[in-house]
Structure 1
């Protein structure tokens, strides 16, 4: 498995970094197509049951993660809907989007904080470093995300990406 996650939280920002043992073009592609996202997005025990993606600036990604692991107690069967609105895409290098909680119709949640996500893909000669910068409107909103288990969710999701990349290479 590739190296572990590095997390840095300061003010209203969380930065997560990890190196993947795959070329940058392939790692970038994992974030752009539903057929790939369905195989790794979300923490362990959760499946991406809906994945509608229009990958372009001004486009969106509407998705549903559903808990399919009976061992997760009250979460079993729970659906978590989200919607990303793409702001900027530099092919192979960067994706910027605003990440929202939503409902099944794609209506954005006003109760849960939104975050601007900047994913930077750095070519390390056959490996790829992803720097994921998450910016919330305030430090308090970031803390809500951390309290919900954001670090564990990131780690498990990117562990699944490592495993999927190993399977397809």
Structure 2
């Protein structure tokens, strides 16, 4: 049974997901911050991801592409603002093209209500018995995240992360 809670902020301007996993905080943080591990699980079910750039450190950047089962590509760029082991990771993520140029949601063929750039904050809190609470905030309207599939994608990625940790 998954221990996942979710809610919208009172202003509904953020996605908020909290999940408790049965793994120690240091290990959970590592799977989020190690360039060898992240590409193995950081995409929704049925999708793959590759990074043309992945530098997980404050000021480090990434350029990634999620490949969907129907052959579509979703390119993004971003910068890590904070990587504070084993407690917190903060980064922005912006819609881009294959060359890393920023694009609008509409230009990328996405719902134009989705923000062109969002801020993601992930915190890791150590609990008893080597468990970890992961709290994910994304500065995007919760209703739009549910409608576009971004919200369920986060849940699927957390499922994949747990499977990777168990492997």
Deviation per CA, 1:52-73, whole angstroms, max 9, x where unpaired?
2111111112111112x4xxxx
Conserved? CA contact 2:35–2:55, under 8 Å: no
Contact 1:22/1:128, CA 8 A, preserved across alignment:
yes
**1:108 aligns to what?**
102
Task: Provide the aligned C-alpha RMSD in A.
Answer: 1.7
Residue 51 (structure 1) shift:
5.1
Cα deviation code 1:35-65 (max 9, x no counterpart): 2112111111001133521111111121111
Q: Which residue of 2 aligns with 1:156?
A: 156
- The residue number in structure 1 matching 2:55 is 54
Runs of 4+ in 1 over 4 A off after TM superposition: none
User: Deviation of residue 29 (structure 1)?
Assistant: 1.0
C-alpha displacement at 1:146, in angstroms? 2.6
Structure 1 residues not aligned, in runs of 5+: 70-75
SS in 1 for 2:41: coil
Alignment partner of 1:58: what SS?
coil
State the distance in 2 between where 1:144 and 1:37 align. Answer: 25
Partner of 2:110: none
Task: Find the counterpart in structure 2 of residue 13 from structure 1.
Answer: 14
SS at match of 1:39: helix
Whether contact under 8 Å (1:33, 1:53) holds in the other structure is no
2:78 to 84, 97, 113: 84
